[in-house]
Chains A and B, each alone.
Chain A
Amino acid sequence: MASPQRPSVVRRFLQLAWRNSVALTRVLRANPLSFVGFVLVAITLILTVIVVVHPSLVVPYGASQNTGVYQEPPTILHWPPSIAHPFGTDQGGRDIYSDVMLALPLDLGIGIGIAGTSVLIGGFLGLVAGFWDKPGTAGGATSTVIMRTTDVFLAFPSLILALAIVASIGRGVWAAFLAIQTTWWPFYVRLVRGEVLAVKHLPYVTAARAAGVGEGRILTRHVLRNVMDPIIVYFTLDIGTVLVTFSTISFVGAGIPFPGPVPEWGSMMSFYQGAYLLSQYWWYITFPALAIFMTALAYSLLGDGLRDVLDPRTRRALTQSVTTHEPPPEEPPLQAATTETSEEEEAVEETEMRS
């Protein structure tokens, strides 16, 4: 019985990949900036893989290594950018280009890790709080507790709370990670709960319930799938924002110590900040700062473009503003819901046939 299942799984995967790539091309065609963002994001991801798998392809020197090329007297170790050292060297003879590249996996990992964990934690709590919110039930009580806790977390400016956490639990990359993580997830609770509340009373959900679909299945297949769009948008946007916040925490001095085995952009900036104010060593801090800026900008461009296409409000507005001279296309929500339902039912039938 296993053999007939295989092609169906493969076909489903291909279908999904096709549908997603169609959606992606739609996003990229809608706006040239999203395309730029997408290319930059792809470059960061490819570079990350190369740095992790085979660093010597793109990184000529080791982390914080004294390149020692300029050690003949008079000993000047800090040289402006040149062919051999595209980002220059610092007062310790460290090749700034190598350190910036070596920091890429860690910094991207921090951004994706914190944003991703927030999506998981906040998304789960938001689903629970939005889906089982009937007052007077155990679910309603849970929902209230979750939302009140979220409100408290959201009352803090995230940087301040993160700094307070770092100041009391200690410094280092894990402390900073934990601190930002603690302040980051509540936003997703509110986001996902709002979306769930908007979706869960739509006719197609009621229809699925009337058809006898179980609650858990309604939650995962019918509700979750329809709240994914804004989650994807904010996840993409947040990768950049987390990076920027992390760099600020490093700037206050709570990141990883810089001349060390693992470079990190924020702590590099923090280490070089004194030299920058002298402004004759402009290349010290410029390149780590540019790295943060370009990476954050890449994910923001992509996320912002995604939002334009995925957010039904802006999408409707965009299509209408293009066709201002014609009557605006009426989009009754019912129609969308029914197509959605039929698609869902197809999927249900398909899976039931398989099992």
Chain B
Amino acid sequence: MGRNLEDLLIFIGKRFLELLPVLLGVIVLTFLVTHVAAINPCPRWYPKGSPAVIAHCKAQFALPLYTQFWNYFSQLLSGNWGASQLGVPVLPVISSAVPATLELVLASMLLMVVIGIPLGVIAAQYSGRWGDHLVRILYLSGWSVPTYVGAVIAAVFLGPYLGLPTSHEYSTTSVPFPQYTHMSVLDAIIAGNFPYTIDAINHLILPASVLAFINMGIATRMTRATMLEVLPLDYVKAARMKGLSNFIVLYKHALRNALIATVTVLGLTAGGLLSGTVVIEEVFAWPGIGAYAFASLGGGGQPNFDGAIAVTIVFAIGVVIANLISDVLYGVLDPRVEWR
């Protein structure tokens, strides 16, 4: 029937192959933006560069376009992603920063699921009444808050008030256990170090909550809309008539159907979540790729050409992978989708 393991592998493989042209397009578009769109980019990329550095940069940009593209493309493929102006290579820094960002993004996705989806259920349950309006104000506020403002309110006011730390992953600079995954909470759990696990979770709460609050609207909105579609259906009425409690009917019977669409939409929030990390990681001194992007793209007045290219591509790859996952999840969760 098209729903066995072999079909699933073909399904995933097909989706994966469809991504390859998109990835190539990402590489080309990044080249166009960084190499072609600008007229005289060298002084902007090296604002404090010596004349020799500027001259070297100008010589690079003076090459014919296809040579430039070939250099850029072969650099990307060979894994030599260049270095910052101070000579710090880009790729090792990024690959050690990715897990921290992944941890932050996954934590806020968890919050979006745990808080955002029940909020959507509440909004649907009280649709057109005050519960609905309050939820709507909450998620629209998240949409309307500039990321920086949300992060600073959390860091300057909420953090001290709640007694939560507002920077870095741990309270101490060095940790007494090996960091295999570079995800603070996971590392502490693997090491079996309970105090450090609590410490890491405390450090994660504020940045993850801000990131979740800003992006929660999509999950809540989607849950509300699909719940409103599901609630009038006969099987929900049948569940009520059986005498099941309101809670069971809402969260077990109705939500299970509504979740399919919501899970798919969660994958689509990856772009917003990753965009959010740029400012949030900067404010909370989180050692992830967002803070690196902030610095590379000129946030601190010291832009980094190779780093900028790298973060642009890495973020795009992140979105592409998230879309792939949500696509596959949709196929797995919705029994009507055939996998061939």
Can you list, as one digit per residue, whether each of B273-303 has a CB less than 8 Å from chain A (1) or not (0)? 0110011000000000000011001110101
Q: Given known contacts A158-B271, A247-B148, A279-B156, is B38 in contact with A170 (CB within 8 Å)?
A: yes
Residue B145 contacts which of A152, A244, A301, A324 (CB distance < 8 angstroms)?
A244
A160 pairs with B275, CB closer than 8 A: yes
Contact of A313 among B38, B148, B229 (CB under 8 A): B229
| Distance of A170 Cα from B28 Cα, bound (Å) | 20
List B contacts of A208 (CB < 8 A). none
Q: Does B30 contact A (CB under 8 A)?
A: yes
Contact assessment for B308 and A157 in the assembled complex, using a CB-CB cutoff below 8 Å: no
How many angstroms from the CA of A163 to the CA of B272 in the assembled complex?
14
**CB under 8 Å from chain A, chain B span 39-74:** 39, 41, 44-45
Known: A293-B146, A304-B136, A322-B128. A277 touches B41 (CB 8 A): no
**A300: B residues at CB distance < 8 A:** 140, 143-144
Contact across chains for A151 and B22 when beta carbons are under 8 A apart = yes
Q: Give A33 to B128 CA distance when docked, in angstroms.
A: 10
Chain A residues positioned under 8 Å from B231 (CB to CB)? 317, 321, 324
Measured between beta carbons, the chain B residues less than 8 angstroms from A100 are: none
Measured CB to CB, the closest approach of chain A to B16, in angstroms, equals: 14
A168 to B41, Cβ gap below 8 A? yes
**Shortest CB–CB separation between residue A191 and chain B, in angstroms?**
13
Which one of B23, B136, B143 lies within 8 Å of A296 (CB-CB)? B143
The A222-245 residues at the B interface (CB cut-off 8 A) are 240-241, 244
User: Which of A132-140, A198-206, A251-259 is the contact stretch?
Assistant: A251-259
| Interface residues of chain A: helix, strand, loop or mixed (majority) | helix
Chain B residues contacting A292 (CB-CB under 8 Å) are 144, 146, 149
Report how far A50 CA is from B281 CA in the complex, Å. 40
Complex-state Cα separation, A300 to B231, whole angstroms = 26
Query: Are A168 and B44 also in contact (CB < 8 A) when A304-B136, A321-B231 are?
Result: yes
B-side interface residues, number (CB < 8 Å): 64
User: CB distance B278 to A165 under 8 Å?
Assistant: no
Q: Are B147 and A248 in contact (CB under 8 A)?
A: yes
Q: How far is the CB of A30 from chain B (nearest CB, A)?
A: 8
Known: A153-B29, A300-B143. 16 other contacts (CB 8 A): A151-B25, A155-B22, A155-B25, A155-B26, A163-B278, A163-B293, A164-B30, A168-B38, A248-B147, A248-B148, A266-B146, A279-B156, A296-B143, A313-B225, A313-B229, A317-B232
Residues of A within 8 A of B (CB): 30-33, 148-149, 151-161, 163-170, 240-241, 244, 247-248, 251-254, 266, 269, 273, 276-277, 279, 285, 289, 292-294, 296-297, 300-301, 304, 311, 313-314, 316-318, 320-322, 324, 328
A sample of 21 cross-chain residue pairs with beta-carbon separation below 8 angstroms, ordered by A number, consists of A32-B133, A152-B29, A155-B26, A157-B270, A157-B272, A157-B274, A160-B274, A163-B278, A163-B298, A164-B30, A164-B297, A166-B298, A167-B44, A167-B45, A168-B308, A253-B299, A253-B301, A277-B152, A289-B149, A304-B221, A328-B232
